[in-house]
Structure 1
Amino acid sequence: MTEIRFGYKASNEQFAPTELLNYGVMAEEQGFDSVFISDHLQPWRHDGGHAPFAMTWLGALGARTERIVMGTSVLTPTFRYHPAIVAQSFATLGSLFPDRVVLGMGTGEAMNEAPLGVEWPEGKVRFARFREAVRVIKKLWSEDRVTFEGDYYQLDRATIYDKPSSPVPIYLAGSGPAATKYAGRAGDGYITTSGKGAELYTDTLLPAVRTGIELSGRKPEDVDMMIEVKVSFDHDLEQAMEATRFWGALGLSPEQKHSVEDPVEMQRLADALPTEATAKRFIVSTDPDEHVARIKEYLDMGFTHLVFHAPGPDQAKFLKLYGEEILPKLRALV
């Protein structure tokens, strides 16, 4: 039987490093199975935004915890970082914390790369660079003295000297059929996000990732199906709705935010939205049973690793409430 896991999304776009670290530790204490952090150079909004360095933060979290699985959701190994640096970093994390580290990766966003002088390319080019970066990382983890001549990256007798004793799983993100099919073919896990309409998952994304898995010669249960589930849970409905405003950018269309490179501009666009629009990507309710019923829809689709992203400023309150009122009900389901 496939293991079902429930995780916590540590929002580095919203909280300073020490505060966020305390929340990661609390997640383990409250019974969550994993903690995942995004990797951002710049946050979704300028006022009140944060952007601690994910790879450093994961090392601190590993040292403060004992059992949780931890990783990125997601990191971009193509522009800010040469993929060899990503390979070295996660090999070190995997050596320090065996069987507890996941490398989650995606094709990236202009907001994180363009401020460093990157000319943000079209999606086809980003995807090609991404696939090549994944090849580079895998070769460095499995071979010594790697020489590689790619379209975007070159290696000359490169070696990662401190490889972990057990492999670090690679999870790949995808929001369209091509990237999702590739994630199923090349990844140990697949990452997507919630709140986009059931048909997108059932008719497009999940069939694509399963096709990729079949092409790799594996079975669906061999790949961890991870989804970030956006939830706003409070005993006060008005507070649960208002909490989503910090994450108003999630309510923007892909076309609205595709080429936005400045958190100030992203914030301006998001703040122009009504609260109903900022809340539409979240499960917003004061009723634990409603949360469980709507989360169960993702379990029924076949997702096996649900990572909960709460938008509110009081994450300690969220972790306590979800740990006490929601997680036991979910575990009873599975």
Structure 2
Amino acid sequence: MVAIDYMAHQEQYSPSELLEYAGLAEEAGYDFVWTSDHFHPWFHTNAEAGFAWSWLGAASQQIDLPIGTYVTPAAEHYHPGMIAQAFATIGEMHDDRVVLGLSTGEAMNEKPLDHEWPEYDVRRDRLEETIEIALELFERDDFVSYDGEHFGLDDAHLYTKPETRPEVHVAANGPSTARLAARYADGFMTVITGEEFTERLYPAVRRYAREEGRDPDEIETTVLVIVSYNEDYEQAYEATRPWWATTQDVFDQAIADPREIEALGEQATREEVEEKFLIADDPSEIAAEIERLEEMGFDRIALANTSPEPEQLFEVMGTDVIPSL
């Protein structure tokens, strides 16, 4: 059976609210809790921007589900050694799986902190170096040196480690970054669905894995889906508004100001919104979409909750959707 996860978006709710919602997800039968890792949010109005690493430390003490980031940017504002130290610490504190999700990142993590936002090939290279450094520090018991083009280590050693190293999953929306998942990672993460996933991205990951001498089935595949549920469909539709900019191909644009990102989202058409998000007034529609995504090849489905009354979605997931699956 496909795993049903909760995506705790730091952009939409305060850290305290997200801890409450993570508890509701656990009670409803969800399998995993992910959280986002950004400096600026994807929108400005009523936005939040809690720090993922602090939140994961708190979550490790309050819930018994696996936890991880969806996703931590491999960029200048985080040195890979600090990323490895943070997730090793979380892993030592938690009794279940800890996953370090990594991506090439977005401009809103870098530009506000006065870092440059380079071209994709530079961002991809930084991601690869971050993965290599993190895995070296997680897996080696001696001191580690690393001389990369973007990052380095000089006899670095992690003194605090969990018994089982954090898993590393790589997020990708295109084949080039997907190759890194196939080469290094325990899992592959995306927001891409439909034919673009089944015809292009998923086959690429599996082909690259075989080229690397790996069994493709050993690479866990996760998709992020933003869900809005309400018995009044129009209310559910309107509640997706904070995320409308994600329909406008903003991930690779050099936009860092949430006010600009939000304004770009207002260009979204109703067709784009309904195609991008899972908007439902009947729990059976949620179950049907989960089954459709499972058939595409996803092992895990991370559901973000942007419902007008978020507690209602957790309730119907626990009483209607998850039992039906």
TM-score of the two chains, using structure 2 as the length reference:
0.95
Equivalent position of 1:215 in the other structure: 211
SS of the residue corresponding to residue 229 of structure 1 reads strand
Equivalent position of 2:68 in the other structure: 71
Q: Which amino acid aligns with 2:306?
A: P
- Aligned residue among 99, 104, 111 for 2:101: 104
Equivalent position of 2:110 in the other structure: 113
Distance 1:4 1:220 in 2: 17
Q: Which amino acid aligns with 2:30?
A: F
CA contact (8 A) 2:236 2:308 kept: no
Q: What is the Cα deviation at residue 153 of structure 1?
A: 1.2
Q: What is the Cα deviation at residue 260 of structure 1?
A: 1.0
Distance 2:62 2:221 in 1: 27
- Aligned residue among 108, 111, 126 for 2:123: 126
Distance 2:319 2:179 in 1: 37
Equivalent position of 1:206 in the other structure: 202
SS of the residue corresponding to residue 111 of structure 1 reads helix
**1:329 maps to 2:324:** yes
Distance 2:14 2:161 in 1: 31
CA contact (8 A) 1:292 1:329 kept: yes
Q: What is the Cα deviation at residue 147 of structure 1?
A: 1.1
Q: What is the Cα deviation at residue 326 of structure 1?
A: 1.1
CA deviation map 1:207-236 (0-9, x unaligned): 111122213322222111111122222221
Distance 1:276 1:222 in 2: 36
Q: Which amino acid aligns with 2:236?
A: A
Equivalent position of 1:261 in the other structure: 256
Structure 1 portions without partners, runs of 5+: none
- Summarize the alignment of residues 240-259 of structure 1 with structure 2, pairs less than 5 Å apart: 240-254=236-250, 258-259=253-254
The count of residues paired between Structure 1 and Structure 2 equals: 324
Structure 2 portions without partners, runs of 5+: none
Distance 2:249 2:154 in 1: 42
Distance 1:184 1:148 in 2: 22
Q: What is the Cα deviation at residue 274 of structure 1?
A: 4.3
Distance 1:224 1:98 in 2: 20
- Summarize the alignment of residues 36-185 of structure 1 with structure 2, pairs less than 5 Å apart: 36-66=34-64, 68-143=65-140, 144-185=142-183
Equivalent position of 1:237 in the other structure: 233
CA deviation map 1:101-145 (0-9, x unaligned): 111010000011111111100001100111011101111112221
- Stretch moving more, 277-286 or 52-61: 277-286
Q: Which amino acid aligns with 1:173?
A: A
CA deviation map 1:293-316 (0-9, x unaligned): 222121112111111122224222
User: Over aligned residue pairs, what C-alpha RMSD do you find?
Assistant: 1.6
CA contact (8 A) 1:98 1:166 kept: no
Distance 1:175 1:271 in 2: 23
CA deviation map 1:55-93 (0-9, x unaligned): 110111110112x11100000132211000000000011
Distance 1:323 1:308 in 2: 13
Distance 2:13 2:157 in 1: 36
- Summarize the alignment of residues 252-331 of structure 1 with structure 2, pairs less than 5 Å apart: 252-254=248-250, 258-330=253-325
Distance 1:184 1:230 in 2: 26
- Stretch moving more, 94-103 or 155-164: 94-103
Distance 1:206 1:278 in 2: 24
Q: What is the Cα deviation at residue 32 of structure 1?
A: 0.5
State the percentage of identical aligned residues: 38
TM-score of the two chains, using structure 1 as the length reference:
0.93
CA contact (8 A) 1:244 1:312 kept: yes
Q: Moved runs in structure 1, 4+ residues, more than 6 A?
A: none
Q: What is the Cα deviation at residue 276 of structure 1?
A: 4.2
Q: Which amino acid aligns with 1:151?
A: E
